[in-house]
Amino acid sequence: MNVELIQYTPDPEKVIAAAARLCYSPDPVPELLERLDDEKVADFVQKLRSMGHLSPFEHISFQFSIDGVSRALSHQLVRHRIASYSQRSQRYVKESGFEFVTPPSIRRNPQALERFEKVMNTLQEEYQALLDVAPAEDARYILPNACTTSLMATFNARSLMNFFEHRTCMRAQWEIRILAERMLELAREVAPNVFGQAGPTCVTQGVCHEGAMSCGRIKGLRK
């Protein structure tokens, strides 16, 4: 898996602070931006977060390049609907000799790994054979969820915080949790006051919403 933050709103935290101050000021945004120093911005962004006043966070966006993840992951990712996605097409891009993601539980089990790789090899061969007698858009129907893909994903900060809340949780599926953790690291580097407290609710709020399905981590955190 390779994840890169390829672009983001310049001075993202200052933009948030200016958007919030605009609601209570007669001055235009450029003047508000000029009067904001780093200390004021940090304090204001943290205050907005603690108050739950998050609409100003929607004015900044983050664009990620995501490669080498499975189609199983991408199907989960697009459930986060307040975001924009572009994904490599299996209709127009042939997947000859496709790479695939092997789950850790299968990799640790020699018997399971042997069966898994046997199926993947068979699918690679059958897919290639189908390309000789059918269009790629129809041959792709036998491609597995394990087949890797590439995406570009763009989130505003508020949507991204929601993504981190749900997908860095220990109950999240392992592959998308790894993706979310890497995205969070990258986002924190450029907007530490926005994402410094981002993450699962057991860490950020001291509560768990998983009920009977809880991983139990909350108990240790409370202690």
Where is the binding site, in residues? 55, 76-81, 87-91, 140, 156-158, 162, 167
Strand 148-156: give its sheet, edge to edge.
2-8, 61-70, 148-156, 83-87
| Residue 49, H or E segment | helix 38-51
> In the 8-state DSSP scheme, what is residue 147?
B
Going 26 to 28 to 30 to 33, the CA torsion angle's sign is: positive
**Which residues participate in the annotated binding site for FAD?**
55, 79-81, 87, 156-158, 162
Please indicate whether residue 107 is annotated as part of the active site: no
* Tokens representing residue 39 in the block: 């200390």
Q: What are phi and psi for residue 143, nearest 5 degrees?
A: -70, 140
Catalytic position from the list 71, 167, 171, 217 = 167
Cα gap 162→58, rounded to integer Å: 12
Q: Which residues are catalytic?
A: 167
